[in-house]
């Protein structure tokens, strides 16, 4: 009897997953945004974990979700892996070389140091791993992942949806041990409003670190805290720039002219998707980089970028290994496909050259073959 019932439930679940689920209505999307704002305004933030969880869920929705209203199943270990990526560079001392500051690891909890940071610090001391790439191949990494997954499950996943004195499970439910399921319409909203969710989470993260009294002696008069918490290190950028000059030559990716000095540019703008993926980096003239700014690049650039990513994928992966930057060509293409699809839906324009833009039409979307 129980087996038959389970079989019927499985058949229903498979039918649901196979059927197209329409995106949430405009009204439902507005309600979603209002509730996200309430999480920050009315939630209890004793650590930066909730900010990290929202960033992780938004990123995973972009990379794994679809532009419909379907649910999205995730594992706590997958989310834990994103926590390790987010906090990895933050286990380094802040304030080194800053006058009047005492270099130390920033405290990210109102009580003892956040357990995730402590676990990563212990792992780094034990293994000597300097980059995430080195860490992921070490035999002890599985234990670190399990440890962080336990913390994520017991703390932010259990508490994120508690705000305003009650619980509102509008984001996800937890159908079993080690499982998280984004509810109908949630992955769509996280994809649609990804930059806004990221901005809210990052600004609250920075404010939480700044407001912790135990960080005051470390921070001093810090004006680059957000850069330290979330941006690629200058050392990694220098390595990437040097290696890309060897790979592509000393020419600007966008205008094709030779250059004496260069900027390392995120092809899909960092402001749109704030995660470093080595296949997303190109070299650009400082003037071209400033002109492009936070825009997506126009079709001629996109065609060359996709062709380059395929033709030079292995070489770019080697650069990622050296620089300690995530190597994932498929995810990079999916992120780009999402970015252009979102821009097309909003009537966006892409940067071609200084003061020159093109409307993003459906032809852009047809260039992608990843199924994103």
* pLDDT one-digit tens code per residue, 194-232: 999 999 999 999 999 999 988 888 887 666 788 889 988
With bands split at pLDDT 50, 70 and 90, how would you rate the model's confidence at 1? very low
Residues 162 and 179 reside in one and the same domain: yes
Residues 215 and 279 reside in one and the same domain: no
Could you identify the residue written with the tokens 């212990």? 122
- Look at the chain and report how many structural domains it folds into: 2
Residues 221 and 239 reside in one and the same domain: no
Residues 203 and 252 reside in one and the same domain: no
With bands split at pLDDT 50, 70 and 90, how would you rate the model's confidence at 278? very high
Cα separation of 60 and 82, whole Å? 9
pLDDT of residue 169: 97
With a CB cutoff of 8 Å and minimum separation 6, the contacts of 266 are 276, 280, 281
Check if the beta carbon of residue 76 is closer than 8 Å to that of residue 179.
Answer: yes
Assess whether pLDDT exceeds 60 at residue 83.
yes
How many CA atoms does the CB half-sphere of 114 hold within 13 Å? 29
Q: Which of 230, 253, 276 is the last residue of a domain?
A: 230
Q: Residue 174 has which token pair? A: 């937890």
Q: Order of strands, edge to edge, in the sheet holding 172-173?
A: 72-75, 179-182, 172-173
Residues 151 and 287 reside in one and the same domain: no
Residue 4 counted as domain residue = no
pLDDT of residue 217: 82
CB atoms within 10 A of CB 147: 19
Q: Which of 211, 230, 249 is the last residue of a domain?
A: 230
pLDDT in tens, 147-200: 999 999 999 999 999 999 999 999 999 999 999 999 999 999 999 999 999 999
Assess whether pLDDT exceeds 60 at residue 334.
yes
Residues 219 and 283 reside in one and the same domain: no
pLDDT of residue 244: 97
Task: Classify burial at 57, counting beta carbons within 10 Å of its beta carbon; exposed 0-12, middle 13-18, buried 19 or more.
Answer: buried
The mean pLDDT value for 304-330 works out to 95
Residues 256 and 225 reside in one and the same domain: no
> What percentage of residues in the chain have a pLDDT greater than 70?
91
Residues 266 and 335 reside in one and the same domain: yes
Residue 371 counted as domain residue = no
Residue 333 counted as domain residue = yes
Assess whether pLDDT exceeds 70 at residue 108.
yes
Residue 9 counted as domain residue = no
Residues 129 and 82 reside in one and the same domain: yes
Q: 126: domain range?
A: 24-230
Residue 3 counted as domain residue = no
Residue 199 counted as domain residue = yes
């Amino acid at each position: 009897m129980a087996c038959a019932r389970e079989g019927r439930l499985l058949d229903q679940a498979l039918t649901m997953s196979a059927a197209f689920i329409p995106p949430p209505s405009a009204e439902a999307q507005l309600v979603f945004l209002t509730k996200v704002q309430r999480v920050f305004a009315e939630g209890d933030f004793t650590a930066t974990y909730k900010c990290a969880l929202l960033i992780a869920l938004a990123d995973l929705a972009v990379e794994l979700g679809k532009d419909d209203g379907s649910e999205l199943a995730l594992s706590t270990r997958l989310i834990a892996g994103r926590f390790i990526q987010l906090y990895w560079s933050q286990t380094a001392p802040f304030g080194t070389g800053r006058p009047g500051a005492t270099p130390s690891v920033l405290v990210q909890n109102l009580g003892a140091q956040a357990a995730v940071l402590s676990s990563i610090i212990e792992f780094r001391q034990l293994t000597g791993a300097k980059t995430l790439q080195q860490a992921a191949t070490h035999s002890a990494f599985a234990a670190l992942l399990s440890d962080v997954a336990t913390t994520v499950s017991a703390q932010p996943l259990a508490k994120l949806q508690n705000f305003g004195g009650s619980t509102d499970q509008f984001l996800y439910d937890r159908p079993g041990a080690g499982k998280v399921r984004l509810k109908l319409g949630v992955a769509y909203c996280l994809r649609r409003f990804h930059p806004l969710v990221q901005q809210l989470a990052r600004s609250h993260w920075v404010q939480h670190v700044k407001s912790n009294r135990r960080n005051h002696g470390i921070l001093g008069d810090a004006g680059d805290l957000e850069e330290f918490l979330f941006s690629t290190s200058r050392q990694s950028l220098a390595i990437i720039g040097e290696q890309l000059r060897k790979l592509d030559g000393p020419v600007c990716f966008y205008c094709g002219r030779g250059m004496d000095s260069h900027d390392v540019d995120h092809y899909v703008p960092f402001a749109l998707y704030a995660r470093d993926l080595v296949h997303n980096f190109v070299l650009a003239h400082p003037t071209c980089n400033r002109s492009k700014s936070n825009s997506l690049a126009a079709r001629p650039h996109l065609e060359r970028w996709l062709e380059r990513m395929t033709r030079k994928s292995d070489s770019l992966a080697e650069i990622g290994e050296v620089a300690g930057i995530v190597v994932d060509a498929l995810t990079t293409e999916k992120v780009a496909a999402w970015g252009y699809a979102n821009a097309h839906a909003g009537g966006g324009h892409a940067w071609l050259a200084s003061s020159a833009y093109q409307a993003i039409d459906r032809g852009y979307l047809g260039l992608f073959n990843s199924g994103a």
